[in-house]
Amino acid sequence: MTIQEASIFFNNLKTKSNNNYRIKIYKNFLYILNSLQNKDLSKDEIQSIEIKFDILDLESHRESNQRELNKILKEFTDYLREKHSILKKGYYMNIGVSIGSVFGLIAGILIKERMDKSIGVALGIVIGVTIGIIIGKILDAKVKAEGKDI
């Protein structure tokens, strides 16, 4: 299945569906496919993506439930990230916020010994998340500059 055929496939599913969650998943697929069509991908990359569509066997999942569709979407985005270094917008920022909050919590626990318990934890989380956002935005900007975002 080509990228164009996959776009037509998901567009048809989107118009026929009345389930909002399924429509959201179809729109996510369409967004990714449209972004891929607008990128300067090599013939090998396009062929690799089309082979992945064949492996995913999208036609057989026409009537799948939301959980299966979401699993296929995640598998496809993971494939793009691992094999082609193509990332969703905000990928690094999400990771930065998660890691920043964890390290901020740890720092807050260490700070709490010198301050009030709740203030130390809150301050640590705020500082950790802020640092995570800054680092995530820098890395996302780098990905965007390389043209590897969708």
pLDDT band at 92; cut points 50, 70, 90: very high
Given pLDDT bands bounded at 50, 70 and 90, which one contains residue 85? confident
Summarised one tens digit per residue, pLDDT across range 24-44 is: 989 999 999 999 888 888 899
The H-assigned helical ranges of 38-116 are: 43-56, 66-84, 91-111
Stated pTM of the model: 0.78
- How much is the pLDDT for 100? 92
For residue 150, the model assigns a pLDDT of 86
141 in the same domain as 95: yes
72's CB contacts (< 8 A; 6+ apart) are: 56, 58, 61, 64
Please indicate, yes or no, whether residues 103 and 78 belong to a single structural domain of this protein: no
Is residue 74 domain-shared with residue 42, that is, in the same domain?
yes
Number of folded domains that form the chain: 2
Q: Do 79 and 124 fall within a single domain?
A: no
| Co-location of 79 and 107 in the same domain | no
Tokens of 113: 């010994």
Residue where one domain finishes, among candidates 60, 84, 108: 84
Structural domain of 103: 91-146
Q: What is the pLDDT of residues 96-121, one digit of tens each?
A: 999 999 998 888 888 776 666 677 78
